[in-house]
Structure 1
Amino acid sequence: MNLALDHIVRFPAGTFPQLPREYYADWIEVAAEEAMHFELLRTRLQSLNHDYGDFPAHAGLWEMAEKTAHDPLTRMALIPRLLEARGLDATPPIQQRLEEAGDEASALALDIILRDEIGHVGLGDRWFRHLCATAGLEPEAHYRQLLLHYRAPWPQAPMNDAARLQAGFSAAELAALAKKM
């Protein structure tokens, strides 16, 4: 939720004229969906006698947010298209393990989150491509260049190709990403 809002305040309209009004509206919607995800997961944790903060979490998204604070194009590439897309890949195996453990309710909660996250990655893809077009860059090649330049984690197999395609990745891009550089 905070990250979606950071996409807005970090890149104000007056400073970044290449970002139209829709960019800001999109990320407000994402923040609202992330708040719903938080409540969904917190309610699920509480039903299992736990609460938010009971388990350690990583700060990978925030660390990348700091690295990309200077440029919305880089931010869209390395947060929604890279790190959040990794969540698309990780969710089905997690759901399978939850189901195998008999936790159907948690697996179903992840169905809702996965559906919405496809949309969030799709917004990142949309705005990344918009910013590339504005800058005269070929998006898929530039994306791979950014991964290398920032020494970002290369997408790992198996990728959730169906979810990534829904989010805007092309089949050719997924094939190129499957070949680690």
Structure 2
Amino acid sequence: MTGSFPTVAGAIRSALLTAEPKAKAFAARDVARKWRLGRLAWKFDVPMPDTPAWPERPDLLSPARMPRRGRGGSDKGRIALWHALAHIEFVAIDLALDIVGRFGGRLPRAFTDDFLSVAADEAMHFALLDRKLRTLGSHYGALPAHAGLWQAAQETSGDVMARLAIVPMVLEARGLDVTPATLERIRSQGDENGARILQRILDDEIRHVGFGTKHFVALARENGESPQNHWKSLVAKHFRGGIKPPFNDSARLAAGLSRDFYDSIAS
């Protein structure tokens, strides 16, 4: 009977090619809901786009051209912070969708289960952050944003282990390290609503890093490789930035990312 259903790959491709931010967030959550309810066939019958559809705004700039964010306590600084976070979560929607659409057919169904749930989480995070911006008199797209976030997907488009090594196990793990300090700063400014948003994101990101680590370790062991050694070799090949302390070791460990992965290569 599943042949009569739309395919999961077709639904993912459609969401990736949705440009308007709120519509993309809705589409991602809809794909995850239909998959959870058994309304999408587990079939990977269409290719993923090299680049998703994005809105005309924000203007995407190289890191060197990004304006300084300003003081965090000013209205301008607060808006810049929440806008930067919203952009990270917006691109994270596409990263989670793409990893399923590109690699899900080669892996157990649990991989699709896990990363479509990540896509739904990222869409919810984006919605919370866009709403936060609107309470501050702004919106997503009002400021320039970092152009390099999709680069990790392009760099790892041919290797699921490289994608897992870089996106959840480096980039999202870095979020585990930096978010607690941001959360405390927001709370010290009396912004309890903002603190609750960041706490929700932090809690979800521990699970996301955990999914990435779980599938990476399983694939490495299936191939007879040391997960830690193979991760280090992939990071050296595909990640241009350094793995920099300080680390949130407790959150990383909760996600299964123990220090024996990253300690020896930390810069």
TM-score w.r.t. the length of structure 1 is 0.90
**2:170 pairs with 1:78:** no
Aligned residue-pair number:
175
Checking the alignment, whether the CA contact within 8 Å between 2:173 and 2:209 is kept in structure 1 is yes
Inter-partner Cα distance in structure 1 for 2:187 and 2:166: 31
Q: Deviations over 1:92-127 (max 9, x none)?
A: 111122123332221221000000011001101011
Q: Distance in 2 between matches of 1:97 and 1:153?
A: 26
Residue 53 of structure 1 pairs with residue 145 of structure 2: no
- Equivalent position SS for 1:31: helix
Larger RCO (alpha carbons 8 Å, 6+ apart):
1
Partner of 2:235: 147
User: Is the deviation greater in 147-156 or in 24-33?
Assistant: 147-156
Q: Distance in 2 between matches of 1:59 and 1:10?
A: 22
Flag the 1:60–1:165 CA change in 2: closer, same or farther, 3 A. farther
Is the contact made by 1:161 and 1:174 (CA closer than 8 Å) also made in structure 2? no
What is the CA–CA distance in structure 2 between the aligned matches of 1:148 and 1:102, rounded to whole Å?
A: 41
Q: Does 1:31 align with 2:123?
A: no
C-alpha change, 1:136 and 1:152, in structure 2 (3 Å) is farther
Q: Distance in 2 between matches of 1:82 and 1:150?
A: 11
Contact 1:147 1:154 in 2 (8 A): no
RMSD over aligned Cα atoms:
1.5
In 2, the alpha carbon distance for the partners of 1:153 and 1:143 equals 15
> Are 1:2 and 2:90 an aligned pair?
no
Which stretch of structure 1 is more off in the superposition, 106-115 or 45-54? 45-54
Q: Distance in 2 between matches of 1:10 and 1:147?
A: 20
Partner of 2:208: 120
2:47 alignment partner in structure 1 = none
What is the identity, as a one-letter code, of the residue corresponding to 1:23?
Answer: F
Tell me if 1:167 matches 2:255. yes
Q: Deviations over 1:16-47 (max 9, x none)?
A: 2xx10110111111111111111111111111
Q: CA deviation at 1:141?
A: 1.3
Change beyond 3 A, Cα 1:92–1:46: same
Deviation readout 1:58-81 (Å, 9 max, x if unpaired): 243310000000010110001100
- Specify every segment of 5 or more residues in structure 2 that has no aligned partner in the other structure, as ranges: 1-92
Radius of gyration: which is bigger? 2
TM-score, reference length from structure 2: 0.62
How far has the Cα of 1:151 moved from its partner? 4.2
Shift of the 120–169 alpha-carbon distance from structure 1 to 2, 3 Å rule, reads: same
Structure 2: distance between partners of 1:53 and 1:137: 43
Could you tell me how far apart the structure 1 residues matched to 2:219 and 2:149 are?
A: 21
Identify which of 27, 40, 45 aligns with 2:128.
Answer: 40
| Partner Cα distance (2:151, 2:165) in 1 | 14
The question of whether the paired residues in 1 share the 8 Å contact of 2:104 and 2:111 is answered with: no
Distance 1:45 1:119 in 2: 25
Structure 1 consecutive aligned stretches of length 4 or more whose deviation exceeds 4 Å:
none
1:147 Cα deviation (Å)? Answer: 1.6
Report the residue type matching 1:118 in the other structure.
Answer: I
